[in-house]
Amino acid sequence: MRVSFDWLKDFMDGKIDVTKTQSFLTMTGLEITSMADIEGDHVMEIEVTPNRPDCLSILGIARELSAASGISIKLPDSIRKNFMRKGNARGGVKIEILDKHACSRYVGCIMKNVKVGPSPKWLAQRLNAMGVRSVNNIVDITNYALFELGQPLHAFDLDKLEGKRIIVRRAKKGESIITIDGITRTLDPNVLVIADALRPVAIAGIMGGKDTEITADTKNILIESACFNPVVIRKACRQLGAASESSYRFERGVDQAMIFASSVRAQELIKETAGGKSAGKMSDVGIGIEKEKEISLSLGEVARILGIDISPEKIKDIFKKLNLNPVRKKDKIFVTVPSYRQDLNKDIDLIEEIARFYGYDKVPSRLPFFTPQKTYQLEKKTLSLENEIRHILCGMGLNEIMTYSLTSRNSIERLGVSLENLVSLKNPMSSQQEIMRPSLLSEMLEVLNWNLNRRNTLLQLFELNKVYIMNKATGQADEVMHLSIGICGNKPGNWKEKSRDLDFFDLKGIIEILMEHLVARNYRIEKTEHPSLKENIATVIIVNGKACGVFGEVKEDVARRFDIKRKVYIAEISLNDLFASANLKKTFIALPKYPSIKRDIAILLDDTITASSIYDVIKEEARELVKSVDVFDLYKGQQIEVGKKSLAYTIEYRSDERTLNDKEVNDIHKKVQEALTKRLGAQIR
């Protein structure tokens, strides 16, 4: 809330400068977020937390400043004398409250022969500082009193009130009102209204009606000072889409003790600026002022919570400054809570008050003694594995991305994946963020596109993040950790090597290194089908018999839907199954004792024969003597028959029991050659 420093000073019975004020308020919990100079006045923007509606007024801020600075508070007589006062129900105006739950109290007062006109300069200036434009002297005074005391007031043109009476009731279905902002609002029984004998004349606690507003011709007025139920007001605000300085305060709760006094204060100021006379007694209908509550605090609790011994005298002193009337009985302090401190209910609330005014900075720091637990059931056990994946991928030159979990339905459609079991938002801000994503791939493609558009040509990216799937069985959304990888573009050349485009085998290599590190040999790769991936090169990763991820080249039409014209290769792996099989506890395997011997072999065979079937033949023939099989050349084209390919392998032979001699290796290598010829029709070259 905005606070004029000039106005605040009116309430301080002693000198204080703006810098000190700023520091006192900030360090006791009223943070000053900004400061402006308006017509020579320092206007502070103060963050008032929702537990402190009493600070939504100059008086409230002054009370805090007084407690922090020790400077006592100075109140106008009209307030001091009428604080805590409850008047008589019978007065100059007839008031009826039909819903006592929604309106606990209504004070009405009539003033006659006022002169409506422009406000004096001081009044207009103060309101201007508070960010409110001046309307006329009467309306301005009601606003002035609201800012000064926190009690919203409303002035009606008395002569326009049918029957010159007030009824506080629920609106009837179909009733409507034109509010002072000129908007016609249709009402229903959810909305509390102030009505005259015929119709609603104001929406209670939110806004007055146009028909009965103060105009230049107004002579006689009715001033309303009331208390409305916060929940009723909040619901009406939401329903009507209306809010005001008044509703803001009613929603948070106003001070019972100030309802009568505020009206008196307004009358005093109106007489001063617009003339007129209060006519008849004030009518004060509704419940009386609640008895002030008492709370006790055991002195030992202060040290137990704060970690510092504060003397009972110091504590009493703080409570006194807060008008809590402390009384010490043995090791307890009893306090009486003023009506405006609805936030003080328990001993912990009092401990906070002590801490605030003793000074957080005076509480010493210490490092606690930790008692480690053996285990926590909710410990994030997958953390180290996630970090391992990160290290491996970053080590291979991939950059990590982080994208939003909320996506559009359209994004998922573009990906071509299932629209079933989506977790969708009930109140999205836009269709761009209406679904909790079921896959990381659409954001990966978006990021690839973003970078391609900015001419970032070598893209090797990954993301470790959650996806969200509605579990039909439980009716709850599952959150599953996924890994996505996306590569695309051109690996630039240098003075030694030529540039080349990244392709499927670059991605496959990344996946293989990752899987070999995480699950060793417990995985295999097979062809599959996937709505986003090109046929024939869509690949599934199977770990211990369970499919846990896919990779391949993105279909051209899918890529184009993401505005990508290049070839892109993506992978998505669910980490849950991978976590179950992953083993980061490495066991040392003894280094080979005997040397290995390498033999090259070049074969010509049908193009349809896969590398893995060639591998299988070699492996079956030479069994445990084969330690590695590497493809070092693949050739198709001129000099080779159509439909054939030439492959060159280096095979490494080694025995774990002895040194193989030339003859043994030659024999086994010959057997391998024969098997390739016989079983795969390979020609040895």
Partner 1 sequence: MKFIDKLKDIEKIAIKEISDSSNVEELENAKVKYLGRKGAVTDAIKGIKNVPKKDKPEAGMFINKLKQKITVLLEVREKDFRSKETTIFENNDITLPGIKRELGHSHPLVKTTQEIIEIFGKMGFKAVESPEIETEYYNFEALNIPKNHPSRETFHTFYIENGNLLRSQTSTSQIRVMEKEKPPIQVIHAGKVYRPDAVDASHSFMFYQIEGFMVDKGIQFSDLKGVLERFAKEYFGDSVKMRFRPHFFPFTEPSAEVDISCFICGGKGCRVCSHKGWLEVLGSGMINPRVFEFVKIDPAIYTGFAFGMGVDRICMLKYGIDDIRLLYENDVRFLKQF
Residues in 350-379 at the binding interface with partner 1, rule: CB under 8 A? 351-352, 355-356, 360-361, 363-368, 370-373, 376-379
Q: Residues 475-483: contacts with CB within 8 Å, 24+ apart?
A: 477/423, 477/436, 480/574, 480/575, 480/576, 481/382, 481/386, 481/574, 481/575, 481/576, 481/579, 482/439, 482/440, 482/572, 482/573, 482/574, 482/575, 483/389, 483/440, 483/549, 483/571, 483/572, 483/573, 483/575
**295, 385, 477, 542: residue in contact with partner 1 (rule CB under 8 A):** 477
For the CB of residue 267, give the shortest distance to partner 1 in the complex, in Å: 30
Distance CA 565, CA 554 (A): 11
Q: Is residue 216 close enough to count as binding partner 1 by CB under 8 A?
A: no
Close Cβ partners of 494 (under 8 Å, ≥ 6 residues apart): none
For partner 1, the closer of residues 21 and 136 by Cβ is 21
Which one among 306, 568, 578, 618 touches partner 1, defined by CB under 8 A? 306
Enumerate residues 6+ apart whose C-beta is below 8 A from 349. 295, 343
Stretch that binds partner 1, among 10-18, 116-124, 325-333, 419-427 (CB under 8 A): 419-427
User: Which residue type sits at 272?
Assistant: E
Nearest CB to partner 1, comparing residues 424 and 583 = 424
CB of 590 to partner 1, least distance (A): 31
Picking from 84, 66, 82, the residue whose alpha carbon sits closest to that of residue 322 is: 66
Question: Smallest distance, Å, CB 102 to partner 1?
Answer: 14
Q: Is 433 in the site for partner 1 (CB under 8 A)?
A: yes
Selected from 109, 447, 488, 564, the binder of partner 1 by CB under 8 A is 447
405 binds partner 1 (CB under 8 A): yes
Calpha distance 603→651 (Å, rounded)? 13
Tokens of 436: 């909790």
Among 244, 256, 411, 460, binds partner 1 (CB under 8 A): 460
Map residue 552 onto helix, strand or coil: strand
Specify the DSSP element, H or E, that contains 679: helix 662-680
- Any contact of residue 31 with partner 1 (CB under 8 A)? yes
Given candidates 138, 227, 270, 401, which one binds partner 1 under the rule CB under 8 A? 401
Nearer to partner 1, 175 or 503 (CB): 503
Q: CB of 435 within 8 A of CB of 412? A: yes
- Nearest distance from residue 607's CB to partner 1, in Å? 32
Binding flag, residue 588, partner 1 (CB under 8 A): no
- State phi, psi for 544 to the nearest 5 degrees: 45, 45
Ranges of beta strands (E only) in 66-217 are: 94-97, 103-112, 153-157, 165-170, 176-178, 184-186, 192-195, 200-203, 207-208
Q: Note whether 304 binds partner 1 by CB under 8 A.
A: yes
Task: Verify binding: residue 566, partner 1, rule CB under 8 A.
Answer: no
Residue 423 touching partner 1 (CB under 8 A): yes
Assess 67 for contact with partner 1 (CB under 8 A). no
Q: Does 26 bind partner 1 (CB under 8 A)?
A: yes
Q: How far is the CB of 344 from partner 1 (least distance, A)?
A: 11
Single residue of 39, 294, 400, 620 touching partner 1 by CB under 8 A: 400
According to CB under 8 A, which one of 402, 584, 589, 590 is a site residue for partner 1?
A: 402
With binding defined as CB under 8 A, does residue 564 bind partner 1?
A: no
According to the binding rule CB under 8 A, does residue 394 interact with partner 1?
yes
Find the shortest distance in angstroms from Cβ 51 to partner 1. 5
User: What whole-number distance in Å separates Cα of residue 458 and Cα of residue 477?
Assistant: 36
User: Over the Cα atoms of the chain, what is R_g?
Assistant: 40
Q: Enumerate residues 6+ apart whose C-beta is below 8 A from 215.
A: 116, 157
**133, 291, 330, 380: residue in contact with partner 1 (rule CB under 8 A):** 380
Question: How near is the Cβ of 568 to partner 1 at its closest, in Å?
Answer: 14
Question: How many CA atoms lie within 13 Å of 50's alpha carbon, on the beta-carbon side?
Answer: 3
Q: Which of 305, 417, 513, 542 binds partner 1 (CB under 8 A)?
A: 305
In whole angstroms, give the CA distance from residue 439 to residue 467. Answer: 6
Q: Is residue 190 near partner 1 by the rule CB under 8 A?
A: no
Considering only 26-34, 516-524, 567-575, 602-610, which stretch makes contact with partner 1 by CB under 8 A? Answer: 26-34
420 makes contact with partner 1 (CB under 8 A) = no
Q: How far is the CB of 512 from partner 1 (least distance, A)?
A: 17
Cβ nearer to partner 1, comparing 279 with 295? 295
Q: For partner 1, which residue of 85, 112, 115, 234 counts as binding (CB under 8 A)?
A: 234
Structure tokens at 596: 């290995």
Using rule CB under 8 A, residue 50 touches partner 1: yes
Q: How far is the CB of 122 from partner 1 (least distance, A)?
A: 31
Q: Are 249 and 56 in contact (CB under 8 A)?
A: yes
Q: How many residues of this chain interact with partner 1, rule: CB under 8 A?
A: 92
Query: Nearest approach, Cβ of 380 to partner 1 (angstroms)?
Result: 5
Among 241, 475, 595, 643, which residue interacts with partner 1 (rule: CB under 8 A)?
475
Would you count residue 404 as binding partner 1 (CB under 8 A)? yes
Rule CB under 8 A: is residue 456 a binding residue for partner 1? yes
Distance CA 460, CA 506 (A): 10
Site residues for partner 1, window 320-349 (CB under 8 A)?
A: 346, 348-349
Which CB sits closer to partner 1, 401 or 571? 401
Q: Is 275 in the site for partner 1 (CB under 8 A)?
A: no
Give the DSSP letter of residue 360: G
Q: Is 486 in the site for partner 1 (CB under 8 A)?
A: no
- Segment holding 332, helix H or strand E: strand 332-336
Tokens found for residue 305: 């919570």
Three-state DSSP at 590 gives coil
Q: What angle do CA 611, 617, 618 make, to 5 degrees?
A: 90
Tell me how far apart the alpha carbons of residues 270 and 117 are, in angstroms, rounded to a whole number: 11
Chain positions 245 to 264 lying near partner 1, rule: CB under 8 A, are 251-253
568 burial via Cβ count (<10 Å: 0-12, 13-18, 19+): buried
**Contact between residue 628 and residue 651 where contact means Cβ atoms under 8 Å apart:** yes
Q: Which stretch binds partner 1 (CB under 8 A): 90-98, 456-464, 538-546, 604-612?
A: 456-464
Report the nearest approach of partner 1 to the CB of residue 30 (Å). 9
Burial (CB count within 10 angstroms: exposed 0-12, middle 13-18, buried 19+), residue 504: middle
Candidates 574, 531, 526; CA nearest to 554 is 531
3-state secondary structure of 15: coil
- The least distance separating partner 1 from the CB of residue 303, rounded to whole angstroms, comes to 8
Q: Which is nearer to partner 1, 17 or 479 (CB)?
A: 479
Q: Which of 118, 131, 307, 592 binds partner 1 (CB under 8 A)?
A: 307
Residues 74, 112, 466, 566: which binds partner 1 (CB under 8 A)? Answer: 466
What is the CB-side half-sphere exposure of residue 44 using CA atoms within 13 A?
26
Pick the stretch among 51-59, 209-217, 523-531, 591-599 that binds partner 1 (CB under 8 A): 51-59
Q: CB of residue 289 vs partner 1: minimum separation in angstroms?
A: 22
- By the rule CB under 8 A, 441 interacts with partner 1: no
Interacting residue with partner 1 among 288, 428, 545, 592 (CB under 8 A): 428
**CA distances in angstroms from 298 to 355, 481, 505, listed in the order given:** 15, 49, 72
